[in-house]
Amino acid sequence: MALSAQACLTKSGETQRLNASNLLGSLHLKISMKKIDIVISVCSIQHIEVWKITSKEIIRNIPASRYRLFVPDDDLDAFKEISPDEYEILGDSSIIGDLKNRLLSKMPASQHFRVGWYLQQFIKLTAIHEATDGDVILIWDADTVPLKQLEFIAPDGALSFYTGKENHAPYFDNIAATLNLEKIVDYSFIAQCFPIRGEWAHAFFSYVEEHCQTDWLDGLINKIDFTQSAGFSEYETLGTFLTHNYKDYLNPLPNQWLRKGASAVGGLENLETALSKFVLRRYDFVSFENWDTLSFWKLLKHRLMIGPIHTRFSKRG
C-alpha cells in the first residue's frame, strides 16, 4: 500500500505522522550551535592524490566534532599515512560487510564495473543510519576540495544545501518506485555534499521500511534498475524525502561550485597556483572527478593559451 508524502511511521504498534515542527522541537536547537557533528567521506585508492588535499582543506574549512573516512580494507594503511590526525579511517567492511557481493548478484555482468559507484552510496547511507538523532551529519565527496570557510547550519537551525542542475530521469523513476514521492523542487541535490540531521535520516529509513515492508537496505536495493549505469542517487533520494517532509527547514544556497576542476585549472597539480586561485575565486568548492580528464587537444590548448598567463601570475606571486 502506497504511503503519502507525509509518511506514516509505525512504532510500537502505533502510527505516528511525520511532523517537521515537532521533530525539530525535539532537537533542542541553539542559535550558537553551528558546528557539524560528523563529516563522512568515502574514498578509494584512485582518489588518494586529491584526498591528500581535500582532507586538509576539510579540516581547515569545515569545523566539525568528528571526521570519518571509509576506504577499502586493503587501502587502510595508505590512507592512514596521508590523512590528518583528526580523521578516523575505517575499512568498508566494518560498516557494510559483504554488501559488494550482494550488489554484484543483482547486477547484470555488463554493469559490474559500476559496483563501486553504487557501493560508495550505500556506505554513506549506512554511516548516517548509525548516527544519533541529535547529530548533524555532513556527507562530503572525497574528490571535492573546499576552497573557503563553509557553514551548513543557519542561525534558525535550518540546514543549508548546495544545489545543482542535474535532472536524471532514472533517479526519479527509482524514487517514485521506492518512496512513492515525486520531485517538487526545481533544483538537484547532487552537489558533492549533503547535510542531514540524524532524526531526519532515521525518519527516512523508517519510511523506506514501512513502504517497502522490509529492512531499509533491501528496500532500496530491490527497487534499483541495475540495467542502468546510474539507476540510484542517495542525494536525490534523501533530498526528495526531505523536501516532502522538512522543506521549511531546508535552505538552498545560491553559492557557486565547480564540478570540472581538471578542465578549469589544468589538473590537481595546479590548484595552488595564483592563476588557479583567480579562476576559482567565485566558487565555494571544486571537484576533481576521474572522468574529467584532459584530452591531448584540451591539454595542448590549455598549455598554449593559459601557460603564458600562468607564468605571469606565478611571477607576481
Quote the cell numbers at residue 78: 595508505
Q: Read off the pLDDT of residues 117-152 as tens digits, 9 standing for 90 and up.
A: 999 999 999 999 999 999 999 999 999 999 999 999
DSSP string of 160-177, one letter each residue: EE--B----HHHHHHHHH
- Of 201-210, 248-257, 300-309, minimum mean pLDDT range: 300-309
Buried b (16+ CB within 10 A) or exposed e, 71-92: bbeebbeebeeebeeebebbeb
Q: Read off the pLDDT of residues 263-282 as tens digits, 9 standing for 90 and up.
A: 899 888 899 999 999 999 99
Q: Read off the pLDDT of residues 45-82 as tens digits, 9 standing for 90 and up.
A: 999 999 999 999 999 999 999 999 999 999 999 999 99
Return d(Cα 91, Cα 53) in angstroms, integer.
Answer: 21
pLDDT score recorded for residue 25: 45
The pTM of this model reads 0.84
Return d(Cα 291, Cα 288) in angstroms, integer.
Answer: 9
Quote the cell numbers at residue 160: 543549508
pLDDT score recorded for residue 34: 72
Q: Read off the pLDDT of residues 9-51 as tens digits, 9 standing for 90 and up.
A: 434 333 344 444 444 444 444 434 478 999 999 999 999 999 9
Return d(Cα 256, Cα 212) in angstroms, integer.
Answer: 37
- Of 104-108, 219-223, 236-240, 258-262, minimum mean pLDDT range: 258-262
Q: Set out the domains of the chain in order of their start, with CATH numbers.
A: 32-254 (3.90.550), 258-316 (no CATH)
pLDDT at 225 over 90: yes
| Rg, Å, the chain Cα set | 20
Return d(Cα 112, Cα 127) in angstroms, integer.
Answer: 24
pLDDT score recorded for residue 198: 97
Beta carbons within 8 Å of 138's beta carbon, 6+ residues apart: 36, 38, 39, 40, 62, 64, 152, 193, 194, 195
